Chain A
Amino acid sequence: MSIEVRHAWKRFGTFTALAGVNLSVPSGRLTALLGPSGSGKTTLLRIIAGLESPDATPDPESGKVLFHGEDVSNVPAGRRGVGFVFQHYALFRHLTVFDNIAFGLSVRSRRDRPSAKQIAERVNELLDLIQLAGLGGRYPDQLSGGQRQRVALARALAVQPRVLLLDEPFGALDARVRKDLRRWLRSLHEKLHVTTVFVTHDQEEALELADEVVVMNQAKVEQVGPPQEVYDRPASPFVIEFLGNVNRLERGRVANKSVLYVRPHDIDIRRAFAGEHAVPARVLHVFSAGNTGRVSLTRSDTGDTIEAEVPRQQLRELNLQDGDRVNLVFRHVRLFPVEGFREEDLPSEPSASRDAGSGI
């Protein structure tokens, strides 16, 4: 089931959450809406779900939501066939895990409602799927965060949604559970192939999990593409800065200024003279974890701080000491002219545990 959103606008008071956003999600894929808080990603997800309605504009096509080509703009959330998973689970605390999962089936009108036996079968199937078989009698308060999120997922899947929407599904979990749950969700997606859209502000999560990444910033879509493409060929300074670590260096004279971006792993450190394009620098600090060593350096000419990542083996050969003078060679850089360059405010900690504004 493909999803299309046409030219959606949404304002909350003076704040613009979406400024004419177009979105097209291919069927059966896992798509990430990635962006800092306040970029409009959650609002977009809620519009797809029917929990929020886009602002009316003179253009009749504006704000339309289509599922598989069919206009669902005026269909209420309950009849769109979406499964929605909330960041803070939103489980019904007075109901057992079993009854939570059965909720969507049990509220159906008598005509469409499966028998109690069929409901029980379906719920038990889902309990197996989320690896919580035997815990159906527990209450949400008796589960851990990761378990609750899986119950919320099962509850959304119980009604066999055409589209699965997840709002910061791992946002409230600690790092380890988060990683495990991420892999588990990926394998679940391989099994079910439900068109899935999830919102996240964690670039690592988006790149690792999704088939396609939609990078959003300030109420607009910055770039759409497979993770590898978005990472390797960022379309704007915002995207390059938001996806992974990068060194931002200014270059050129005042008249013809440009900004140069280089990823830490694209930097070679040489002891010897390495051509006139090499940048002289001084080592500030060396730290190695796992297979890569991280080196902080100061550029001798401008005083900019540069982060470099080199294989541990090479680091050993170089035998760097704090204060050593070295030459840097950039293997791959991206240049953006300052002319027309939009300075973006990056959140200081993109992976802050709780996305306060939740994208509004």
Chain B
Amino acid sequence: MRTPHPESPPPLRTRRHRVLPGFGLTLGTTLLFLSLIVLLPLSAAFIRTAGLTWDEFWAQVTSPRVLASYRLTFGAALAAAAANAFFGVIVAWVLVRYEFPGRKIVDALVDLPFALPTAVAGIALTALYAPTGWIGRALDPLGVKVAYTPLGIWVALTFIGLPFIVRTVQPVLEELEPELEEAAATLGATRLQTLARVVLPALLPATCTGFTLALARGIGEYGSVVFISGNMPLRTEITPLLIVTKLEQYDYAGATALAVVMLVVSFTLLFGVQVLQRWFFSPERHGR
């Protein structure tokens, strides 16, 4: 037998000639921009907090009311992002894979939570889910209360987070060749196996990215939540609201102390997800 022409994969690392120079210029701009827009305001929060002693700080950020708000904020954001990861993939699937009348309209609807002032979303959701609202009225006899409960917060955060998943998964799905599914089918895989072993693994990295974005958005969300949550201390009060409350009482140090905690936790969370994703999805893959 003849040996096929020896082919080697592309070298792992090459020094590439770039058409557009300017690493120094662009990195400099990036750092300046990030400093002015992101880092400076954030460090102001840290500096403000420095007005507190360590004990005062600790007491501020660990009072029962504050601890309850952390649980609610992060818990509801996680639950909402998880729900979106599931339904968002289905929405993206439908939008990419099927042609149906009104597809363009549905596609545009997905972006609406991005564009709508969050307060408007909050008011609309509250009107719907309040015990007197259309949906609230139907759910009330079943003993399900949505408005003014953690469930309502979850609904608001799900609404806000949906576009993140859909818009990150959609392009990946568009790139996914139908031949992959056909290949799996000719090899004897059932539909469920094709979905579980071929389609979903290909969508997982994008879903993860979307999940992280939705989670980050959920943690920081304020406008839509304050209307539907009812803001009862220890029960339906989110951390961003607590911060605003403290600000209104001119307790700037207290407010920034909470802000610092949120910042650190959020950053750790986002960074952690990113590291995890890198480690999980690209075990020694250089090709891409």
Measured CB to CB, the residues of A under 8 A from B are: 49-51, 76-80, 82-84, 86, 88, 90, 92-95, 103-104, 107-108, 131, 138-139, 141-147, 150, 155-156, 158-159, 176-177, 180-181, 183-184, 187
Contacts and interface: CB of A to CB of B under 8 A. Distances in A.
B185 interface: yes
B96 interface: no
20 contacts: A51-B186, A86-B179, A90-B183, A92-B197, A92-B201, A92-B202, A94-B201, A95-B201, A107-B184, A141-B285, A142-B285, A142-B287, A144-B8, A155-B187, A176-B5, A177-B7, A180-B2, A181-B4, A184-B2, A187-B2
B286 interface: yes
Contacts of A150: 4
Given A78-B189, A94-B201, A139-B287, A180 B180 contact: no
A144 B4 contact: no
Nearest to A179: B5
B115 interface: no
A93 B202 contact: yes
Contact of A88 (B1, B5, B179, B202): B179
B197 A107 contact: yes
Given A94-B201, A107-B189, A142-B9, A86 B182 contact: yes
Given A86-B179, A94-B202, A187-B2, 5 more contacts: A79-B188, A84-B183, A92-B184, A94-B201, A138-B9
A78 B188 contact: yes
A156 B182 CA distance: 12
Interface string B171-209: 000000101101111111110010001100110000000
B3 interface: yes
B288 interface: yes
A159 B182 CA distance: 15
A159 B188 contact: yes
A176 B7 CA distance: 11
Contacts of B288: 141
Given A77-B182, A180-B4, A103 B9 contact: no
Contact of B188 (A104, A131, A146, A187): A104
Q: Which 8 A-B pairs have the closest CB atoms?
A: A141-B287, A104-B187, A144-B7, A90-B179, A78-B188, A107-B189, A90-B183, A180-B5
Nearest to B288: A141
B185 A51 contact: yes
B223 to A, nearest CB: 39
A84 B186 contact: yes
B93 to A, nearest CB: 18
A333 B184 CA distance: 50
Chain B interface SS verdict (over half): loop
A187 B1 contact: yes
A315 B187 CA distance: 56
B-side interface size class: 20 to 34
Given A78-B189, A103-B187, A141-B287, A131 B182 contact: no
Interface in B191-241: 193, 197-198, 201-202
B287 A92 contact: no
B179 A107 contact: no
A49 B286 CA distance: 35
A90 B177 contact: yes
Nearest to B9: A142
Contacts of B2: 180, 183-184, 187
A147 B287 CA distance: 14
A95 B180 CA distance: 12
A187 to B, nearest CB: 5
A49 B186 contact: yes
B287 to A, nearest CB: 3
Contacts of B3: 131
B264 to A, nearest CB: 34
Contact of B189 (A103, A141, A143, A144): A103
Contacts of A49: 186
A146 B5 CA distance: 9
Contacts of A139: 285, 287
Given A184-B2, A187-B2, A142 B286 contact: yes
Max chain B C-beta neighbours (<10 A), residue from A103, A150, A184: A103
B187 A92 contact: no
B140 to A, nearest CB: 46
Nearest to A140: B287
B201 A144 contact: no
A187 B1 CA distance: 6
Contacts of B180: 90, 92
B162 to A, nearest CB: 26
Contacts of A95: 201
B187 A177 contact: no
A240 B6 CA distance: 36
